[in-house]
Structure 1
Amino acid sequence: MRLHTTIGQFAVFTAGTVLLASCSSGDESSSSADNTESSEETREYETEKGEVSIPSEPETIVTDYYAGELLAVDADVSGSGPDAFSNPFLEEQLSGAKNVGDPIDPEEVLELDPDLIVVMYDDNYEQLSEIAPTVHIPYNPDTDVQETLDTFGELTNNQAAAEDFKDTIEETAADAKERLEGTIDEDDTFGIYELTDNDELYVFGANGGRGGQAIYNALDLNAPEKIQEEVMGENAQEISMEVLEEYSADHMFMTTYDPEDTGESKEKIQDSDVWANLDAVQNEQFYFLDFDTYYPYDPISVNEQIDLIADELTE
């Protein structure tokens, strides 16, 4: 598991105009049109690897971890890494896409003949760059989902779609906040946690997935002071079970990373005295969340998570 972003038609000249043009001017026009077409087809994009010449309007994109970000701005994703296919919110949109492996497999990518490759990790970067222009965007470069939409809207030249999705998220958040009125107290605090199959325990901030964007940014819910001071600037912080109470909140949301689905870690924490003494547990305000549903932090997933979190709190 890794912790985890039509060229316009040319005018048609009449036959009479063409006949009036001299051969030399016709050659110049042809050359000028070719240059214009070339400049419109590609543009320079600054990346961690330096400037990359990318299509102005890419049509076939392959990515390792940015399927949701690309789909949110109406870009075509023909291939993606396996994580995207376990995301319940992307299932329909990726029905025709190909799993290109983790790390991304150049041979699988080659078969798709993309005109742009977007990667979070630079495994096989040189090989991928020989297939198509490859943009390296390291893990989690943006502070919120709005910045993410700006990044991928610019990358794909779909800024209008990015703005539309920002509006969608704002509307979803406004509706969810209205549903929450009178359900939670203004001073209530909210915490996000994850337990792994190795009994590791993490506290998450706003920008590490697990519903953080929905809870802290979209719904404007407050973290406890200790989490604000120690975790919010980071994606996550590992803690021991013994100090969980120090990072506890009035409402606690926990995902469990358990790929073998043994349930052992979850049972262990629920059998502990630490668990039993948490105010959130005693007040029935401790919520176990599905890992696949809350792990992603792309705009499409965040938009859906906003409603799901409101459902948890109102039910």
Structure 2
Amino acid sequence: MISACGRDNVGSKNTAQASHSSADAATRTIQTVKGKVQIPAHPKRILTDYYAGELLSVGGHVIGAAPLEFTNPFLKDKLKGAVDVGDPINVEKALALKPDLIVTDSDKNYDQLCKIAPTLYIPYGTAHNIDETVHLFSRIVGQTKPGERLLAEYREKAAAGRKALKGVVAPGATAGLYEITDKGDLWVFGPNWGRGGQAIYNALKFKLPPKLAASNKQYLQLSLEALPQYAADYMFLTSYDPEHKGTALKNLRQSPVWKDLPAVKEHRVFYNDFNTFYPYDPISITKQIDLFVDMLKQNAKENKPGQGQGR
């Protein structure tokens, strides 16, 4: 088992590629940033930290995941019976679960995990959109049909969502995804860093705030004074506040800078649940499309001249 994650130092491509092993038809070889890893052709017991949704979306059987995955409302039912394995993955818990494959976005404990089962280290951001994600993880689990069904559902929802927003949202409207942390740090996000980015930008075709688009960055930390430069026609704010203090969000909303934003004055600000919009797996992205469409339609209905409230 020590050689299960045998590395041959053939490079550090930021993709995972699969090929059948000539030595054993029951295994395949995946190219990762750590080198080539031989895995079961059809893994049955997969343990992961933050790739539960990705694996479930392509028909993988997840037996353990990181704590945050269990707070994802779109995965709760699908993770019934799975075990919280900690963050980073607890080696003793992993050993007890007897996985035949481990998939992780962290290289902490990597060498120890390799001694338990073949381990794939896939850094966050390896896949850049839902299509790349589904294709990557379909190769890992060794089947394509569940992923194809998921992509078909995604495309159907995306098309229906864009149609539903015609006459509701002006063509070329910008959307901004922001987050305030419990420490008062303020961030803005692009299409590939969770917070609903793939749903709002890729599926529903909203435009990025121009200054963020020009930066070519997926995320930026902002000072409160710089926020107006990254404002958008529609602004969606999540709050990372694990202790539910509410102080940072309250301070932001009471600030003169926030109150003076056009989206705030025009009641086009949405305060979104962190656990619902943080996830970036294909299942969550697909579900987030409908959530965005519903909130935008409801906002337009309520947001008559002189009326309405940021939701």
Deviation at 1:187, TM superposition (A): 3.0
- Give the equivalent residue in structure 1 for 2:253: 270
Q: Higher helix proportion, which one?
A: 1
- Write the distance in 1 (CA, Å) between the matches of 2:121 and 2:296: 38
Render the CA deviation track for 1:144-181: whole Å, top value 9, x for unaligned.
11100010011111222222211110011111112111
Kindly tell me the number of residue pairs found equivalent between the two proteins.
279
What are the within-5 Å matches in structure 2 for residues 1-315 of structure 1?
A: 39-230=24-215, 233-315=216-298
CA contact (8 A) 2:48 2:102 kept: yes
Q: What amino acid sits opposite 2:185 in the alignment?
A: E
> Helix, strand or coil: the match of 1:118?
strand
- Write the distance in 2 (CA, Å) between the matches of 1:299 and 1:61: 18
Deviation at 1:125, TM superposition (A): 0.7
- Give the equivalent residue in structure 1 for 2:9: none
- Write the distance in 2 (CA, Å) between the matches of 1:212 and 1:81: 22
- Indicate the structure (1 or 2) with the bigger Cα radius of gyration: 1
- Write the distance in 1 (CA, Å) between the matches of 2:72 and 2:258: 29
- Give the equivalent residue in structure 1 for 2:307: none
Query: TM-score normalised to the size of structure 2?
Result: 0.87
What is the alpha-carbon root mean square deviation over aligned residues? 1.4
Moved over 2 A (4+): none
Q: What amino acid sits opposite 1:198 in the alignment?
A: K
> Helix, strand or coil: the match of 1:39?
coil
- Write the distance in 2 (CA, Å) between the matches of 1:66 and 1:49: 18
- Write the distance in 1 (CA, Å) between the matches of 2:282 and 2:83: 21
- Write the distance in 2 (CA, Å) between the matches of 1:270 and 1:93: 36
Q: What amino acid sits opposite 1:101 in the alignment?
A: G
Render the CA deviation track for 1:101-126: whole Å, top value 9, x for unaligned.
01101110111111100010011111
Deviation at 1:244, TM superposition (A): 0.6
Structure 2: which 5+ runs fail to align?
Answer: 1-15, 299-311
CA contact (8 A) 2:172 2:206 kept: no
Deviation at 1:245, TM superposition (A): 0.6
Deviation at 1:40, TM superposition (A): 1.6
